[in-house]
Structures are given as C-alpha cells and as structure tokens.
Structure 1
Amino acid sequence: MRTVDAAGLKIGDDHPPRIMGVLNVSSESPYKPSVFDDPAEAAQYVDERLIGEGADIVDVGLESANKKFEVLSAEGELDRLDTAIETIESVSGDAVFSIETRYHEVAEAAIEGGFDMVNDICGFADPEMPRVCEAYDVAVAKMASPPDLERPGAVEEVDDIYDALELNGLTDKTIVDPAFGGWSEEKTLEQDRETFERLREFRGYGQPILVSINRKNFLRELAGRSTEEALPVSLAATSMAVERGAHVIRTHDVAETRDAALVGHRFARERVRTPAVEELDVTTPKEAERHLDRVGGEADPEGAVTRTFAVELAPTARDRLATLATEIPGVTVAAGEAGTLLFGTVAGLRALCANDAEGELAPVIDGVARAL
C-alpha cells in the first residue's frame, strides 16, 4: 500500500486514519452549518469546529454537487475561489487544505492560492486534472464518476466503479474514493451497501482510500433514522470502514468521527509491512483478483483465499470427507473428539463440492457450496 504525502501529512496503512472536515462557500449546499460566504466567519468555523475538533484535512467546496442543482462552469467556481482563499489565509490552526472541484483550471488557481490538495469529484473526467496535480506534486482524491463533468459519482454497479476509477489513470499521490451516496436517480441503497461490503477490494489499487459515508441514506435506512438522528449509524460505519482499510474519512461531524475512526484503527487486523514484504488484506477471491489486476500477474484468485467450516458428520461420512480431502489440492480435514473442521482454498472447496453431491456428504456439500 502506497503512502501518500499530502503537504507533510502521511496517509496510508502505517499512519492513523485521517479526518477530512467540510467547509462550503456555496449557498446551495444542503448542510447549512458548514456554509459561509464571509471569510472571517468561515475561518472561525474551521478553527473551532473542524481543526479544533480533530480535522487533519479541511475540504472546501465551491458548489453543491447535489444533482438537483445546475453545474457551475469553471468560471463560476473561480468567481467563488477568492472567498475560499481568503478563508484559509485567515485560519490560525494547522491543517491540509483541499479544494473540491472538477476543473483543472480551478485546481491550479487554488493551489497557486495556497491550497495543498485537490478533491476531484468527477474522477479525472477533465483529463488535464492529473497533469496539474502531478505538476504541483499535490495529493488528489479521485472519486469514481462517469467521464462527464456534469455527472459526479453517478456510477451504480460496484464493478463499474473500478472502470470509473481507472479513467485517465492515477497519479502517485492519488487517494481513491468509491463514491457513496445518491449521485444518480438509478443508484440504489443496496448498491451502496454492496460497495461498503466490498470496500477491501479497493485496496487492490495499492492507493489509500477515502470514504464519505457521513449520515448517508444507505446507513440511515437500516436504522430508520432521519438525517438529524443518523450520527450513531455513521459512527458505527466509520469504525467498520477503517477496520476494512479506509484511510481518510470525510465528515461534517469531526470530533465524533475522529473517535470512531481511532477505535476502528486500533482493532483492525495487523498488516505486516517490511521493506521486502507487505501482507495484503485479502478475504475474498474478488479482492485477490483486484491485486492481480494491479500487478498484471496471472493466477487463480480462488486459490488465494481460504475458508474454514465446522461440520457435523457421522463417522463414516467424516472418513469419506477426509479421503476426498487427500485427493483435492488445497483442502484439509481435521477431526477430533469434539468435532470436525474443514479448511480449504475456494478453488479446492469448489472441487470438493463437485463430489458426492447426492451421497452421505450432501448436507455438508450443500452448506459449503452456499457459502462459496
């Protein structure tokens, strides 16, 4: 996993989760407590409510990305940039300042004006964006989107997110964002939940991951909560996201999200990393497949992941299972007085399931097959 240096702030597996607080200088933005048009008031909010509560990064939005509103042109965003620049010049606290934009002209002007980082909500739909970010050697969050500057985040199927993130490549300092939320009318809550369930797959890019899940509908609906009541579900998901490998959490609730992220970080599995070896967090064949795609290697991803089952069998069936296991690479049976364990790679277990489907092992074969 690459470590990204964002103006001195290290982002990656070897560092704590980073909290990205949000400031908007766009009157149409829906979260009104974060919206300011007066630089002095905005700077006070940043110092007290964002940096003061633990934000490492402050993400400044020039327009709402809500699909209900007309998209501003680059010129329209540039008209608002002065307020953003004056704001960060007035902040007394220490943070990395990120400009949220889809246009390379705005990104370049913001960097020239003192911003440290770019948050591209259209995922390099502007093909000049990666060039600008590389030229200024800045970190850039790249949100999965279609190749259209007017449709940020409007990707529905999880597998299509990968194609979107590969649009116009990745810089060495790219942080990938799989784009949670209702960016299109077609996207369902279940698709957001599937993206969250498969979050580890995005580690296959070898780049840090940013998630923006604060009070999102796909979490609120699970608990039947309104936006105002949704902080607890956001915090539960934040801990899970960090445990699954997310590195940056974008939020309006900085203090609470920081605490939840630190809990997830403390109880995440240890991933060994030395100059020569990096232990990958791979739990499914899809996750293995993403890493294979990254390195350009060829192997069976189902042979890279193991599963373990406790099985209930009569003695004769247990002996039959043990015999089969000796004939199938990647499968092991361990039996003792208290029961029987079945271990195997996904590939080996699939081969096992092709045997004895109607015999004495049928209940075990059926259960394992359902799990795979």
Structure 2
Amino acid sequence: MKKLINNFTYITFLGYIAFIPSGPYPISVFGIKLDILLGLVLLVLILPKITQIGKNYPSIFLISLLFYLVTTLLSVIFSEDIVFSTSKWFSMLGYILVSILAPIAIDNYSKIKFSRLFLLVVAVVISFFIIHMALSYGLDKPQRFYLGFDPTAPANYQSDSGVEDIVDPNMTAIGLTLSVIVYLPNFFDSHHTKRRKTLEILAFAIITFGAFLTLSRTAILSFSLSLVLAFTMLSISSKSIQNILTQISKLFCLLLLVMIFLFGIYTLSPSFINGFFARIENIESGKEDRTDLISDTLSIFFSDNKNILFGQGYHITNPHNEFLRNLTSSGIFSLIAFLFFLYTLYFCILKKIKGNYWRYFSALSIYIYIYS
C-alpha cells in the first residue's frame, strides 16, 4: 500500500511540474485549473511528511521562512484588496509547502533524474508548438507568439467561454529556460553516450529557440545573466588556477554557442532578431516604460506610513522586480524578511550540494535567475 501511494505521489508530481514549461497552460477540470488541482492533490499526499521538515532543513532556514510568512500575512491584513491578497498569500503558502515537502517525499535520486528528463521533454514539446505557430504566421511579423489558439492576441485575451486560451509569454519563456537549467546535472553526467549528448544539445537548441520566439526580455536576459554569474561565482570560489581557467573556457564556449545560435536565427529572419533587440532598447519608452512603473510604485509606497510598514497589500503591485514587489506590496519588514530568507536559502543550497559541481551550478543558476 505504501509503495502504491509513493508511486501515485510521484506520478502526481510529474503531472504538476509538466505545467512549468508552458507557463502554465490553462486546462480546466470541473472549473478548476488542472495545475492547481494537481498541486492540491500533491499537497494532500505529501503533507504527512511535514513532521520531517526539522530533520531535513536547517533551523535558521525555517525561521527565516516563518518570518517572511508572518510579514506578508500582515500585509494581507492591511491590504487595499484583502480578498485578492488572501488568495495570493494562500497560493504562495501552497507552493512553498510543495517545494519543501516534495524533496522529502520523493527522496530517490533515479526519480529526480527522470523528473529532469521529463521536464526537458515537455519543454521540447511546448517549444515545437511555439515554433509551429511562428512558421505558420511568419517570423517576419512583429507579433509575440503566445502559447495559445491566437498568437496575435493580447496577454489578457479570453475566449467566449471565459477560459483563458493563452499564457503570458514571459511565463512560458521562463518555464522553458528554467527547464534547461534544471536539466544541466543530467547533461554533464559522464555515463551519457555521445548520441544522447547530441540529442540533449538539440533539445537545448529547440527550447532556446522557442523561448526566443516569445520575445521575452525578462526570461532571455535573466537566463543569460544567471549562467554567466553562476560560472563566475564558482570560478572565483575555486582554489585551483587550473579549475578557474577551465570554467572560463566553458563560459567562453557557452557564449560562442549562443552567438552562433543568434547568427543562425538572424540568417533565417533578420527582422525577428531586430525586433527582439528593439524590445530591449525600448524598455524605457512607450507603454512598457519600466522606469516610470517603478517610479510610480515607489511614489505610492512613500505616500503614507501604512504603505511603508505593511505595503499596499500582498501581491497588489507589480513593478517587474521581486525586491520592489516585496517592498511596495508588503512593506519594509517584508523586504527585510525576504532578504534574510534569500540569504539562508543560499547557504542551505551551499551546504546540501556543494560537493557536486553541476548540481550546485544548476541550483545557483536557478537561484540567480529567479531573483535577478
């Protein structure tokens, strides 16, 4: 019976993470989004493991997490839209519990390796879907390729049935590129054959191309920055000159591959690459002026003492920066708690997997990616 429950838990976990590369894609069952439904089922299955949290995580990490939850809960109580903030806070709590308990419930290295492969395969399928739309509608057209039935639709498009048919392309691109980073420990497994390595490199190229087609500045820049910073930090921490030179050469090869990739896309469609870089250049102009958005958000934050202490309400603001979001949505105490949590999380990662270079590199890249 125990084995049956464990297998069902793992299958549910795979179904849950399958939605990461898509953004997640909205599929509803009985009026509930399938990713949320699977998350709830998974949470029920792994909740009994909550008694083992103290054995698997350092006390300082759990204290920092509790501190963050309390400060954000206060921002919910003082929120300008308490219903919205409450729903977002409980969603966050669910995600945190799943993230903490899933590694305890699925403590099997072969299953973890398969999970990375599964995530990569799903990301390839999603990327093919995006590429198909791009080829169908033309790479030379100035639209972003949303993952849905209408690639020209705006991000808040809804069908007549009221169900969202598309996903924010930024979330899709983030899910795709994170799938590549998560898979890196598998990719550098010395037991893999050359044939498998070739297929994996091809998968990376397809996924990266799919991410580029979303024209997501956030995902592409964060993806590039996280890899570069992770390589740099690990090189600096190395005590051997030879290891440092090895990491620098790997970083150079990685950048060279990216340049070749971009040149290949440019050869196929110069207007597409020009459009992508135009979006980066226009980050401070027109409707997408991020500096004005940040300035306006900060102005509201400093408008009264309640906003300074508790923010406008958990997840109310969206200045496209997690640090500013915590400051303006949940107040100064929440930002301090958030920074404390990130600090303890980093050393928790360092302690757990420092001995395995590529697992550490992957975890560090994800850490930088999410908060860059």
Q: TM-score, normalised by structure 2?
A: 0.23
Question: Higher Cα Rg: structure 1 or 2?
Answer: 1
Q: TM-score, normalised by structure 1?
A: 0.23
Which of the pair is proportionally richer in strand?
A: 1
Which of the pair is proportionally richer in helix?
A: 2
Greater relative contact order structure (CA < 8 Å, 6+ sep): 2
